[in-house]
Chains A and B, each alone.
Chain A
Amino acid sequence: MPPRRAVATLARRRRLTAAAFLAPMLAVLAVVAVWPVLHTIWFAFTNAELGGGPADFIGARNFISLLADPQWWRSVANTLIFAALSVSVEAALGMVIALALNRRFRGCGLVRAAVIVPWAVPTVVSAKLWAWMLNDVFGIVNAVLVGAGLLAKPVAWVASPRTALVSVVLVDAWKTTPFVALLLLAGLQMIPADLYEAARMDGAGPGRIFLAVTLPLLRPALLVALIFRTLDALRVFDVIYVMAGDNPASMSMSVFARQQLVEFQDVGYGSAAATLLFVLVAIVTVIYVRAGGLWQEA
């Protein structure tokens, strides 16, 4: 066989092998991801209802109604505020914890293990145990704050419109800070020790070292943590639904869409709301990927 044809055959065989190994996985993804998304988008242009029955194409009417729905705008604002607040709190707390754990001290292995615990707690459980601690009548948070004289009377943290959103942010931060802290710690441990040494030799103080050495070198790890957390926060459902139900003061875009879909059985309208969240997440992803220049070598 002449060599060129042999190479071509080899390449073809490799393509066939690749296709054979990829096909099952791609077929499953087509069924569980691509088809449902396309179906949801199609629903968004119809007046489908949960009970079934024939659905009619009604053009962009669902989207037009959404844009005129103050409750939907409220959920958009809640989602953006939730994402901005929770990601900032997690980044700040995660950084403090990572810096503390990056030091060597007696029992640091134990402390590191302890820090992971909230991450191991299922979101529903974390929402329930904080709902119990923040309970307006029997909660320990109110008992301690009232006992210390910081509050005149107990606060209904989750029910009251003024504190509902902040409460769910803090609960989300409790559960996900370990993830951020661990990613940052992994980043910190890759910074060579002699860089700190050199900076100290040059007479830089701790604050200066953090800004000039640690932060720039930690940028990739920080960016990855922020991307993952932002995308998760924009999709938030569990913690808000379990703690506050359909309370408008804390309702996120996901909670709004599910309420329309399941409670009000308005599949068309709910699918339109879900589609808009999908678009929002896609836009944020593209912005992040562009800005970070990440995944270039994937």
Chain B
Amino acid sequence: MNRRALRRWAAAAGFRVLIAAILFYALFPFYWAVVSSLRAGSALFGTSLLPLHPVWGNYAAVFRAEPFARNILNSVLVATLVVLISLTLSLGAAYALGRLRFVGRRMLLMSILGVSMFPQIAVLSGMFALIRRLGLYNTPWALVLSYLIFTLPFTVWVLTAFMRDLPRELEEAAIMDGARPLTIIRRIFLPLLAPAMATTGLLAFIASWNEFLFALTFTLTNSERTVPVAIALISGASAYELPWGRIMAASVIVTLPLIALVLAFQNRIVAGLTAGAIKG
């Protein structure tokens, strides 16, 4: 083997090793959570990499020891409502911001982007006061209301970017025919924007599903909590004996659907993220 062939072979081998390292880094932690969730008793503390004698007790225990089914229901309810409200409000707003010219349009867009930079902690005490005044403390409705602060600017921004890119001629014919804006949005833009709305909605759903700080602060009792708070607060007999098997089982339950969703829509998601980040 001459030196050039050797070098090429070394480069190819190096690349394989790099890819293997990336795969290991990305996948091992979650794999380990799955393995740990299938172990009980002292087997949990073993370091063998394969789940040789899987037991399902941790999964049953999650639903027995906590109102975990209720927590999942809360999360689904909150995230779904937040997505529906955000998309409805932002479709009309995106039409105004993306298709109509008016003074102050740019300022408005900038301010909406500014809201998405708000640290959640900066609204925490004010939001708490609002929620108590509205009588929503310790209910999922408090979360539906407060999550709009981070989903709404995002959906408005991304839908505006998509709306602006559609060709001008689209609504001109409709305007000539005397169609009203609401009809134009429903008949022309809604079908064209459906894929963008699906992506944006999915990203907003994930953000709501994962939210922790508001959920931790605005709910108090086990049955009103969402999944992230429930998992963070799973505790054992004492602070030093966390039931790791159960925590890992709960983690796997709430993460698998997300991984499935993200993988199924991965191209769309990448497009949505880059639209939010670059097109802006």
Interface residues of A (CB under 8 A from B): 14-15, 17-19, 21-22, 24-26, 28-29, 31-33, 35-40, 43, 48, 96-97, 100, 103, 105, 111-130, 132-133, 135, 137-138, 140, 143-144, 147, 174, 178-179, 182-183, 186, 220-221, 224-225, 228, 231, 234-235, 237-238, 241-242, 253-254, 257-258, 261-262, 267, 270-271, 274-275, 277-278, 281-282, 285, 295, 298
Contacts and interface: CB of A to CB of B under 8 A. Distances in A.
B93 interface: yes
A115 B119 CA distance: 28
A277 B25 CA distance: 33
Interface residues of B, number: 88
Given A114-B22, A298-B109, 12 more contacts: A14-B101, A22-B92, A40-B123, A43-B129, A111-B23, A114-B27, A116-B269, A122-B209, A124-B228, A278-B119, A281-B118, A298-B106
A123 B32 contact: no
Interface of B: 15, 18-19, 22-23, 25-27, 29-30, 32-33, 36, 44-45, 47, 85, 89-90, 92-93, 95-97, 100-103, 105-106, 108-110, 112-115, 117-127, 129-130, 145-146, 148-149, 152-153, 156, 181, 206, 209-210, 212-213, 217, 227-229, 231-232, 244, 247-248, 251, 254-255, 258-259, 261-263, 266, 269-270, 273-274, 277-278, 280
A36 B130 contact: yes
Contact of B123 (A28, A36, A178, A262): A36
Nearest to A206: B11
Given A118-B29, A130-B29, A278-B122, A21 B22 contact: no
A32 B149 contact: yes
Given A14-B101, A25-B152, A43-B125, A237 B120 contact: yes
Nearest to B47: A143
A125 B102 contact: no
B270 A182 contact: yes
A140 B122 contact: no
B102, B121, B251, B255 interface centre (most CB from chain A within 10 Å): B121
A163 B30 CA distance: 23
10 contacts: A21-B92, A29-B153, A97-B22, A116-B266, A122-B254, A123-B210, A124-B228, A143-B47, A254-B119, A274-B124
Given A22-B96, A28-B148, A121 B30 contact: yes
B278 A238 contact: no
A243 to B, nearest CB: 10
Contacts of B227: 122
A128 B232 contact: yes
Contact of A298 (B29, B228, B280): B280
A134 B108 CA distance: 46
A295 B119 contact: no
A228 B113 CA distance: 12
A42 B59 CA distance: 47
A22 B259 CA distance: 35
Contact of B96 (A21, A116, A253, A257): A21
Contacts of A282: 117
B27 A37 contact: no
